Each structure stands twice: as C-alpha cells, then as structure tokens.
Amino acid sequence: MSTSKVTDPASLLGGLSSSFDHSPWAVTELSGEAHIVRYANSAFCRLFDKARDEVIGRPFDRLLSPADECLALLDRVFRTGAAASYTAEELAAPCPLLFSYSLWPLMADGRTAGVMILVNETGPLHETRHAISQALLLGALRQDELIEATELANVQLRTEISAHRQREIDAKLLANEVAHRVKNNLQVIASLITTEIRRTPAPWVRGFEAMQDRVIAIAQLYDLISQSSGGRTVALGAYLKEIAATLSASVLGDTGGIRISVEAEALQIDSERAVPFGLLVNELGTNAVKHAFPGGIGMVTLAVRRIGNDVELTVADDGIGMPAQGQGSTPGQHGSNYVTIFVRQLSGTLVRSGAPGVGTTFRILFPMSPDPENIPGQ
C-alpha cells in the first residue's frame, strides 16, 4: 500500500474507496489501534445486516464475538505492518461469519495507520459453490433477457431503416414525376414559340428562335432528371450529348459539314446549377455554329473535365476566329450578356482564347460544390 502522507484522516483509502462501493466482496477500512471503522462498502454492511451509519465510526470488535480469530489477527497486522490472510477449516464449528479474508496494513509516514479487510468467502466451500451456481443461473436468465431485448431492438431498427428507405424512394419518384411534368410543360412552350415564329416578321424571327433554343435546353435538363434514379444531380456527359443533339437538329439542319463532338469525364452537377450550365453551353455552342464557319465546314467541341475541386467546361471551334478588336466580347450583345449571367450563376470564371483563322475557345472554371449564396433562384 502507499506510504504517502495521510491528508484525510477520515479515510485512509481516499479516492480508492469509491472503487469498492459496488464490489461484490465485502471491504472495510479500519483506523488506529482501536480499529475504528472509517469505510465499509455495501457488501460489508449486508454481511453484518446493518445500515452504513450503524457501522461507520464504531470499533470493529463490536461487530464480532470477542473470541473471533479475526480480532487477534487484526491486532498483529496493525503492530507488525505485515499483511495476513485467514481461511477457516471446512468443518470448523461453529462456522465463523468471516470464513476467508485478507488483511493489509495502511501505511502513513512510515507507520501503520490502519488496516483494510477484504472478505473473500463468507461460508464453507459448498455454500460458495451454491452461491456461484445461483449467480450463474441468474446470469443466464439475464443473458436471455438481453438477447430478447437486442432482437427486439434489431427488429425496430430494421423497421425504421425500411421506412426511411421507402421515404427516400417516394421522394425520388416524386422528384422525377415533377421533373417529367416540367419537361412536358416546357415542350408545350417551345411548340407555342414555333407557332409564333410562323406568324412573326422576318426581322424578329431570330429572337424567337433563340428563346426557343433556351427553353429546349432547360427541357432537356428536366428530361434527364426525370430519367435518373436520384433526381438531385445530372450527369454532365449525358447532358452535353443531349445539347449537342439538339444543336445538330435545330441549328445545323442540312449543314452536314459542321460536326459537334462531346468529350466528358464522369462528372455530376447539382440540378439547380444544371440550368445555367445547359443554357451557357447552348449559348456558346449556338454562337460557334452560326458565326465560326461561313464556309459550312468545321468542328465544335463540348468538353468537361475535373481540375482539383473545380470543373472546367470548354466550348471550342476550329473556325475563322474573332477579329482582334473583338477579343473582349461574345458575338451578339445579348448573347454576351447571357453568357456573363450564366457564368456568374455558376460562381465561375470565363477565359476566351483564339485568333483569326485558328478558331475560338471558351474555358469556364467553376467549383464542383455549389456556393449556397449563388445558387440560382435563391
């Protein structure tokens, strides 16, 4: 035991006493030559069938008969400072209350200040075996209760997981259904614009056609969302192919000398930013097809790739390029304004390169994850 100086005379064990409070073995701490009980755990009090306040502060010899072997051994441990133990014989009569126990001196400033007693057995071995059997039986019953409770908890957990998955499925189905209906409504709007184009004077037809192209681009997005399993993100490769197909059908028409190719890594974009993304590609692709190839022959490339935590969108052509004085603008003032707006909604930056005779390339770099403050519609 420790030989450190005693700072709390009321308990030589100090903070260790709390460790014995719930011990199944009876433990007590005695202080001084009179063996005053300074600490007794619950098991010790039950052993003597007394409340704790009936034990604490009283001499230990009042709990035992004067002839009990424990008292003589206790005096010896206190005098000599040497630990000791005792086990009664199996057939001892009368059987002592403390059948088997150990005693340790509690040292302070190099002298014995008290004694700690740990009761190992409180009856003959057959009684101990009987108590052990009872404890094992109770433990087995308790184990069955725990297993039953665990199985019930597992059933409840599986039920909750199943319900959560069903809610996710329902939410996805609802999102896909909404996207499908939005796509149908946008297609109706595009058809109405076609009707207006037929009745519109030639000078204003191009404006209606540009509006129709943008509506169709958004409709393509919602078509992809309605077909996806998640409904929260859009595959950029598939989206670019849809836009390329629409440009080929609506803008190129019979101009077979111009081709549109798609180069895309496996990237996803959230459905909110997919709208300005698609409109941006549609705007730049349409400008390239209509202005870069006066001879009717050339290639437009739509590409996306990941660079660190950003996505790089490239719209490039191998056409005539732009005149030097036009390096800072996009063909058509309205188109330039739209491009600027779409790039801003993506929280991106745009860089244009190229020269007359070598084509034009637009590179837009925007973050993989959206900026909550710049999400379109918020």
Helices (H), the chain: 17-20, 42-47, 69-80, 125-198, 202-227, 236-247, 271-291, 333-345
Inform me whether the pLDDT recorded for 1 exceeds 70: no
Average pLDDT, the chain: 80
Burial state string for 237-276 with b = 16 or more CB within 10 A and e = fewer than 16: bebbbbbbebbbebbbeeeeebebebebeebbbebebbbb
CA 32, CA 50: separation in Å to the nearest integer? 22
Radius of gyration over alpha carbons of the chain, in Å?
44
Confidence of residue 253 (pLDDT cuts 50, 70, 90): low
The model's confidence at residue 324, banded by pLDDT at 50, 70 and 90, is low
Q: What is the pLDDT of residue 370?
A: 78
User: Average pLDDT for residues 249-269, to the nearest whole number?
Assistant: 82
Task: Tell me the C-alpha distance between 298 and 292, whole Å.
Answer: 8
Q: Which pLDDT belongs to residue 314?
A: 96
Report in angstroms the alpha-carbon separations of 176 from 221, 222, 226, 232, 377.
12, 9, 4, 9, 20
Segment (H or E) for 370: none
Query: What is the predicted pLDDT for the residue at 214?
Result: 73
Instruction: Please list the residues that pair with 107 across neighbouring strands.
Output: 112
Please give the C-alpha separations between residue 322 and each of 247, 292, 318, in angstroms, as whole numbers: 21, 8, 11
CATH architecture for segment(s) 14-123: 2-Layer Sandwich (3.30)
Q: Are 342 and 283 in contact (CB under 8 A)?
A: yes
When pLDDT is averaged across residues 368-376 and rounded to a whole number, the result is 65
Give the model's confidence band at 201: pLDDT under 50 very low, under 70 low, under 90 confident, else very high: confident
The domain spans of the chain are 14-123, 257-378
d(CA 360, CA 86): 100
| Cα dihedral sign, 194-198-200-204 | positive
pTM for the model stands at: 0.48
- For the ranges 11-25, 171-185, 331-345, 357-371, the maximum mean pLDDT occurs at 357-371
Residue 308 backbone class (left: φ over 0; alpha: ψ -120 to 50; beta: rest): left
Q: What is the pLDDT of residues 43-99, one digit of tens each?
A: 899 888 899 999 999 999 998 888 788 899 999 999 999 999 888 765 444 445 677
In this structure, of 2-16, 22-36, 49-63, 339-353, the range with the lowest mean pLDDT score is: 2-16
Q: Which residues pair with 26 in a beta bridge?
A: 119
Q: For residue 85, give both structure tokens.
A: 């133990």
Q: Which of 75, 102, 98, 99 is nearest to 89 (CA)?
A: 99
Q: What is the pLDDT averaged over residues 132-146?
A: 75
- How many CA atoms, within 13 angstroms, populate the side-chain half-sphere of residue 4? 6
Confirm or reject CATH 3.30.365.10 for domain 257-378, answering yes or no: no
Interval 290-313 mean pLDDT: 92
